Copies of this chain bind each other. A is one copy, B any other.
Amino acid sequence: MMRIGIDLGGTTVKAALCREDGTLLHKMNAPTRLGDADGLRADMKALALALCEKEAITPEQVQSIGIGVPGSFDKETCTLRFGTNLDMSDVCFAQAFEPEFQCAVQLDNDANCAALGEAIAGAAKDTRNMLMITLGTGVGGGIVVDGKLYTGCNGIAGELGHIVIRQGGESCNCGRKGCLEAYTSASAFVRFAERALEAGRKSVLEENRGALNAKMICDAVDAGDTLARELFEEYCVNLSCGLANLVNIFQPECIVIGGGLAGYGEKLIEPLRRLTEAETFQGASCNARIIAAALGNDAGLIGAAML
């Protein structure tokens, strides 16, 4: 039997056909029709059918379809309540693949899907208890306990970016002050850089002032820029504060770091590992490993397939 995973983004709808063990066989995508729920559902079904054709299987051989969505949703009714950057709300996907596909359709948020993907087929393969932190525009999180996604009593657990590490600190989009996200999202990293430039700090970053991104700051660190190095060190201290909190709570087998900033690789992971270890309770046997994500953008697709 096969599984189909769909990653619904604000720009692209991606779909993948996977084996039961999470192996990705084929993937395809289509531009997201913003604000057009019927069009979106039709595109999703077309992608699913095209994947079956590609692998020469029938829709009956697909045992489940999972969709990773951005925004709020209701699992019971398989409905997207409010889609961030999708210009649509209250879109039900339960019957979207009928009559060709008769299998169950599952929904979960994109960060949870990424965590499940990494747990089953990625960096955290063969672990039972893991966390994933996704460093992007925001800071997403996913929790896997005993091999299954943990989503709490109302389906929205795992907001690992919204734990306050500095009470009364930076304003966060969630309304709180001092959240991990407000210090460690890629946007926060850029905001601190722009703020330092505004305060008159000299740096090679000045040439891109007003249009900085996280990659540029990492490149400036590599080029030996003093300001960029300071910002990066502060970033690592803040992120490891959050990671240490999570280790003291969960003592997971590993924490997988994903999202754009994870592309900085061991140069990011090594200091995080060192700083986090210094601030956590250590067990006699195993301790949480901090590792970079392995599946990149495919994690969400594979995780959706495995919902």
Binding site for B on A (CB under 8 A): 72, 74, 81, 129, 141, 143, 145-146, 150-160, 162-167, 174-176, 238, 241, 244-246, 248-253, 279, 281, 283-288
Q: Which residue of B lies closest to A278 (CB)?
A: B175
Total identical chains: 2
Task: List, in ascending order, chain B residues with CB within 8 A of A245's CB.
Answer: 162-164, 245
Task: List, in ascending order, chain B residues with CB within 8 A of A151's CB.
Answer: 251
Task: List, in ascending order, chain B residues with CB within 8 A of A244's CB.
Answer: 164, 176
Q: Are A162 and B281 CB-contacts (below 8 A) given A157-B250, A241-B167, A251-B154?
A: yes
Min Cβ gap A152→B in Å is 3
Q: How far is the CA of A152 from the CA of B284 in the complex (A)?
A: 12
Task: List, in ascending order, chain B residues with CB within 8 A of A167's CB.
Answer: 165-166, 238, 241
**Residue of A72, A159, A245 with most chain B CB atoms under a 10 A cut-off:** A245
Whether B250 contacts A287 by the Cβ 8 Å rule is no
From the candidates B166, B238, B279, name the one contacting A176 in the complex (CB within 8 A): B279
From the candidates B129, B155, B162, B241, name the one contacting A164 in the complex (CB within 8 A): B241
